[in-house]
Amino acid sequence: MNSPQRMRRATIRDVARAAGVHPSTVSRALGNGGQANALVNAETRARILRIAAELNFRPDIAARTLKTGQSHTVGVLLPDLTNPLFPPIVRGLEDRFAEDGFVVLLGNTDDDAQRGELVLEGLLSRGVDALVVATARRDGTQFLELSRRLPIVLINRVFDDQLVPSVATDEVAGVRMAVEHVYRLGHRRIAHVAGPQDLSTGRNRYRGYVAEMGRLGLTVEDSMVCRAGLYSPDEGSRCARELLQGPHERPTAIVAANDMLAIGCYQALHALGLNCPEDVAIVGFNDAPFSDLLSPPLTSIRFPHYQVGLEAAQLVLERIGDPSAPIKVIFLPPELVVRGSTCTKSTT
């Protein structure tokens, strides 16, 4: 319980001495190198393991890293952990990585190129074995360059030329599900509160809306689309008013590009004395944690963020194992969560 050398951690040499073998034998016995089983006698191995446990031995990863060049560490670059999108993704990454003894080094860039460069430096000099990149900057050239040297997996962002492995959610498919959902409920005048068009999310979701309307044989009228400048309730409210108060026939359903915008739609409906879902059905996007707390609970599109993390980690591990593994680009489908804002017979 009170081992004598409590102050300094036991090294592989201490174990070797205690077991009466050479350090190299201990190293092989612990088999963290990989080719453990064959190179050392079963009994010796058992003895070593026992003694190592007794001495509370833990290999010094820095030493191993120096020797092998493998840090068992993966850098994760993201704009801002505070964005609720990311925690589940990071969780997914960590959970999968933990299975293989990898650990995550976080770096927040705030979408600031300079800070991003600094953080990247820090990660690289710590010898990360791979990089998971979720920063949104458009020019990924530096990562293309880097990806020749170490495995890189992109998250929520694919390069157009698809030369880099990536995992993303299928936003277009998400909006299409939303539109189809209200269509099936009988709605034909389906409006869209679009997000900021300078963000990829805003653009993609708008595209999805247009695509699905087309598929359903509905025409996209200008008066049925309003572009929000921000993902905020206020902008959502403004857009909803515009859509609902125009001279044209009123829409009976609104597909919002985001839950925040959907909340704004609620406020607008309320102000105009309209009911949801009776007068106007509303569909949000993202299924934020509070979506089911609204009244009525908001029908929304949920993304498997945790899964994204899981898959990205999987991809990383595959490529670490075999750097020439095929470059995969994975799209994860979203899920439609139906709640009271589109169906009167709501659950709960």
Nearest distance from C-beta of residue 133 to DNA, angstroms: 24
| Cα distances (angstroms) measured from residue 303 to each of 13, 28, 65, 307 | 50, 44, 36, 9
125 versus 348: smaller Cβ distance to DNA: 125
Choose the one of a second copy, DNA, none that binds residue 2, judging by a C-beta under 5 to 8 angstroms depending on kind. none
Contact status: 30 vs DNA (CB under 7 A): yes
232 exposed, middle or buried (CB, 10 Å; 0-12, 13-18, 19+)?
middle
Q: Which residues are CB-neighbours of 213 under 8 A, at least 6 positions away?
A: 179, 190, 219, 220
Nearest distance from C-beta of residue 46 to a second copy, angstroms: 21
Nearest distance from C-beta of residue 107 to a second copy, angstroms: 8
92 versus 195: smaller Cβ distance to a second copy: 92
Contact status: 94 vs a second copy (CB under 8 A): yes
Contact status: 123 vs a second copy (CB under 8 A): yes
Contact status: 49 vs DNA (CB under 7 A): no
SS3 letters across the chain = CCCCCCCCCCCHHHHHHHHCCCHHHHHHHHCCCCCHHHHCCHHHHHHHHHHHHHCCCCCCHHHHHHHHCCCCEEEEEECCCCCCCHHHHHHHHHHHHHHCCCEEEEEECCCCHHHHHHHHHHHHHCCCCEEEECCCCCCCHHHHHHCCCCCEEEECCCCCCCCCCEEEECHHHHHHHHHHHHHHCCCCCEEEEECCCCCHHHHHHHHHHHHHHHHCCCCCCHHHEEECCCCCHHHHHHHHHHHHHCCCCCCCEEEECCHHHHHHHHHHHHHHCCCCCCCCEEECCECCCCHHHCCCCCEEEECCHHHHHHHHHHHHHHHHHCCCCCCCEEEECCEEECCCCCCCCCCC
- How far is residue 192's CA from residue 243's CA, in Å, rounded to a whole number? 9
60 versus 111: smaller Cβ distance to DNA: 60
Contact status: 31 vs a second copy (CB under 8 A): no
288 versus 320: smaller Cβ distance to DNA: 320
The only residue of 33, 122, 323, 333 in contact with DNA, by rule CB under 7 A? 33
- Interacting residues with DNA between 93 and 152 (CB under 7 A): none
Nearest distance from C-beta of residue 136 to a second copy, angstroms: 17
64 versus 207: smaller Cβ distance to a second copy: 64
- How far is residue 263's CA from residue 181's CA, in Å, rounded to a whole number? 19
119 versus 320: smaller Cβ distance to a second copy: 119
Contact status: 41 vs DNA (CB under 7 A): yes
Q: Which stretch binds a second copy (CB under 8 A): 43-51, 86-94, 206-214, 277-285?
A: 86-94
Contact status: 44 vs DNA (CB under 7 A): yes
The only residue of 124, 144, 230, 343 in contact with a second copy, by rule CB under 8 A? 124
Q: Which stretch binds DNA (CB under 7 A): 53-61, 95-103, 234-242, 283-291?
A: 53-61
219 versus 295: smaller Cβ distance to a second copy: 295
- Interacting residues with DNA between 56 and 85 (CB under 7 A): 57-60, 63-64, 66-68
Which residue ranges make up the site for DNA (CB under 7 A)?
Answer: 8, 11-13, 20-25, 27-28, 30, 32-34, 38-45, 57-60, 63-64, 66-68
Which residue ranges make up the site for a second copy (CB under 8 A)?
Answer: 7, 58-63, 65-66, 71, 73, 80-82, 84, 86-88, 90-91, 94-95, 98, 101, 103-108, 118-119, 121-127, 149, 233, 263, 270, 288-290, 293-295
